[in-house]
């Protein structure tokens, strides 16, 4: 109905020559009044109605996933609701703001010295939610537990925390004064702060459970109510004691269909955590386009080759599978404006060379498919019988559309595809991940699910590079090794979307696709 109304307004606002105006040329004053009314009504329609959810009550957020719960991120993998709850109640040394930039968390300021080999943080005054003050000793102990420090096994920490493998340059974390800690590195890492800002590195006290805010859990349950935490560092602390319902946040974890329906029914202000899997559901709703926001997310989206036997034991055969897939058809089937990708690295980043590009990119799609079909036929002459490849994908309409195009490409060259669940045994498995920081090594390491020895050796050499210049050269070598190994089939960049009510004027699209709950409205902390 809303789409039909907008269409009628646009007809009224355009004359036969395409100029702004009204088709019926009555008296000028009446035309101007009517045009102003139409413009106002159109503006309200684009913003999903002027009277939509006035800014008088708690902000209701639907996060796509399970029931939000506070958990020790060093031991439990977090989905979007849990990450939002962790980020809201247990911040790290630093955190992300609305634009995806670094802002203070537990640390009020910091400096980087010794050419990026040392980060010194001064902690702000704060408590763990029960009045117990935050101390440097506690922070250091928690950080060591999160990432694996000198008193814990690094491998064990890496098995629990997905970010731990990218923090191995941290040599030690020490207390300098009761308010100051130092993170000392064995190798320079200019993007360390972006890792510290991730919810997985939020600092949570285990017994009793508590964090430093910026919210406290006012009411627990399946949809916890979050209330801004008291901050003694603010200029007017007395103002914080006044009840302001619009500053509260109700966090709901639910599947995408229910979240979209709740927003369409005007019962929520934000849907967060949308991906390609559920994007097609929006096509059957009347949600205004202005409410649908897409992040310019950076990261990996493609198929990791997780079994390297049979047909996929040979890099030439793996390349044949990669070049056979029509990427424009794959992305276009899900979203018309979703850009395809044919390489692992999106840009040069911290590599010393431009991203490696497969040789087949110089061919047309028909030429690629013909060459791949010839390779499959040649293999079948030596090893008669069908070639079957299992493709592991999540459940959802977007994944179904994705699989249909991948399957069509594989069948066109003589390969039998079979769809399986994302956690089932497979030859090809979807990787859909937003980059936590801007290093080419992250992309290569995340793509190396089951890469060869040469690629793994090159990646390890890049990790251990003693200087940034040497690191850039070794990353370039690792990119070349990964391109030759053909361990990953890039398809696109991650798609991340949200539904945003007009009252959330501080919401901003960003490359991290991360939207802190305390940065949705102008007057929140």
Model pLDDT, residue 49:
41
- 193 and 312 fall within a common domain: no
In tens digits, the chain (525 residues) has pLDDT values of: 333 333 333 333 333 333 333 233 443 433 333 333 333 333 333 333 444 567 789 999 999 999 887 655 555 578 999 999 999 999 999 999 999 999 999 999 999 999 889 999 999 999 998 889 999 999 999 999 888 754 444 444 444 678 889 999 999 999 999 999 999 999 999 899 999 999 999 998 877 778 998 999 999 999 999 999 976 655 455 555 566 888 999 999 999 999 999 999 999 999 999 999 999 999 999 999 999 999 999 999 999 999 999 999 999 999 999 999 999 999 999 999 999 999 999 999 999 999 999 999 999 999 999 999 999 999 999 999 999 999 999 999 999 999 999 999 999 999 999 999 999 999 999 999 999 999 999 999 999 999 999 999 999 999 999 999 999 999 999 999 999 999 999 999 999 999 999 999 999 999 999 999 999 998 655
Is residue 353 included in any domain, yes or no?
yes
Query: What is the distance between the alpha carbons of residues 307 and 185, in angstroms, rounded to a whole number?
Result: 36
Model pLDDT, residue 91:
93
- 323 and 365 fall within a common domain: yes
Could you say which of 155, 177, 209 is where a domain stops?
209
- 257 and 281 fall within a common domain: yes
- 428 and 354 fall within a common domain: yes
Domain carrying residue 24: 2-46
Query: What is the distance between the alpha carbons of residues 346 and 296, in angstroms, rounded to a whole number?
Result: 12
- 35 and 160 fall within a common domain: no
Could you say which of 142, 177, 209 is where a domain stops?
209
- 13 and 130 fall within a common domain: no
- Whether cis (ω within 30° of 0) applies to the bond prior to 208 is yes
Could you say which of 193, 209, 225 is where a domain stops?
209
The DSSP result for 368-397, as a single string, is HHHHHHHHHHHHHHHS-S-EEEEEEE-SSH
Assign residue 356 the CATH number of its domain: 3.10.105.10
Q: What are phi and psi of 410, to 5 degrees?
A: -70, -45
Is residue 420 included in any domain, yes or no?
yes
Model pLDDT, residue 94:
98
Sign of torsion, CA 232 233 238 241? Answer: negative
Q: What angle do CA 244, 246, 252 make, to 5 degrees?
A: 125
Instruction: Give the DSSP H/E element, type plus range, for residue 440.
Output: helix 440-447
Q: Which of 102, 65, 103, 99 is nearest to 84 (CA)?
A: 65
Is residue 65 included in any domain, yes or no?
no
Q: What angle do CA 127, 132, 134 make, to 5 degrees?
A: 50
How many domains does the structure of the chain reveal?
4
- 225 and 359 fall within a common domain: no
Model pLDDT, residue 31:
38
Query: What is the distance between the alpha carbons of residues 393 and 408, in angstroms, rounded to a whole number?
Result: 16
- 221 and 173 fall within a common domain: no
Query: What is the distance between the alpha carbons of residues 410 and 414, in angstroms, rounded to a whole number?
Result: 7
Q: What angle do CA 426, 399, 445 make, to 5 degrees?
A: 55
239 Cβ partners below 8 Å, 6+ apart? none
209 and 54 in contact (C-beta within 8 Å)?
no
- 476 and 400 fall within a common domain: yes
């Amino acid at each position: 109905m809303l789409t039909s109304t907008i269409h009628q307004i646009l007809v009224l606002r355009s004359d036969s020559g395409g100029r702004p105006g009204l088709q019926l040329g009555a008296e000028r004053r009446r035309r101007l009044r009517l045009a102003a009314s139409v413009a106002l009504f159109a503006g309200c329609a684009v913003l999903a109605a002027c009277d939509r959810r006035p800014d008088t009550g708690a902000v209701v957020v639907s996060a796509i996933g399970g029931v939000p719960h506070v958990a020790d991120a060093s031991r439990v993998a977090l989905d979007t609701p849990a990450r939002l709850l962790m980020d809201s109640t247990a911040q790290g040394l630093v955190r992300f703001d609305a634009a995806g930039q670094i802002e203070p968390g537990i640390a009020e300021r910091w400096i980087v010295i010794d050419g990026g080999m040392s980060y010194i943080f001064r902690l702000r005054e704060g408590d763990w939610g029960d009045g117990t003050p935050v101390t440097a000793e506690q922070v250091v102990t928690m950080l060591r537990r999160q990432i694996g420090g000198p008193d814990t096994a690094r491998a064990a920490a890496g098995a629990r925390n997905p970010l731990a493998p990218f923090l191995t340059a941290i040599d030690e974390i020490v207390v300098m004064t009761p308010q100051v800690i130092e993170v000392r590195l064995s190798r320079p890492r200019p993007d360390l702060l972006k890792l510290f800002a991730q919810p997985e590195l939020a600092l949570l006290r285990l017994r009793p459970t508590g964090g430093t805010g910026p919210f406290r859990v006012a009411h627990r349950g399946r949809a916890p109510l979050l209330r801004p935490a008291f901050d003694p560092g603010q200029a007017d602390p007395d103002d914080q004691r006044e009840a302001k319902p619009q500053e509260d946040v109700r966090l709901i974890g639910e599947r995408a269909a229910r979240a979209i329906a709740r927003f369409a029914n005007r019962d929520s202000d934000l849907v967060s955590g949308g991906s390609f899997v559920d994007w097609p559901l929006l096509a059957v709703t009347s949600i205004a386009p202005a409410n649908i926001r897409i992040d310019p997310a950076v990261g990996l989206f493609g198929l990791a080759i997780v079994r390297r036997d049979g047909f996929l034991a040979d890099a030439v055969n793996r390349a044949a599978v990669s070049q056979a897939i029509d990427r424009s058809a794959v992305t276009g089937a899900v979203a018309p404006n979703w850009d395809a990708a044919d390489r692992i690295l999106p840009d040069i980043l911290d590599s010393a060379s431009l991203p490696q590009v497969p040789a087949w990119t110089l061919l047309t799609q028909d030429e690629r498919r013909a060459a791949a079909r010839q390779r499959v036929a040649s293999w079948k002459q030596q090893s008669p019988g069908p070639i079957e490849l299992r493709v592991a994908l999540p459940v959802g309409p977007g994944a179904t559309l994705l699989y249909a195009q991948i399957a069509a490409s594989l069948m066109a060259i003589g390969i039998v595809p079979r769809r399986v669940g994302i956690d089932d045994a497979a030859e090809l498995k979807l990787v859909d991940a937003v980059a936590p920081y801007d290093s080419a090594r992250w992309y290569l390491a995340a793509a190396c699910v089951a890469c060869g020895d040469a690629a793994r050796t090159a990646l390890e050499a890049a990790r251990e590079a003693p200087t940034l210049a040497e690191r850039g050269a070794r990353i370039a070598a690792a990119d070349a090794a990964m391109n030759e190994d053909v361990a990953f089939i890039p398809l696109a960049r991650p798609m991340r979307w949200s539904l945003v009510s007009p009252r959330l004027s501080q919401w901003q699209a960003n490359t991290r696709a991360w939207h802190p709950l305390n940065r949705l409205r102008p007057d929140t902390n």
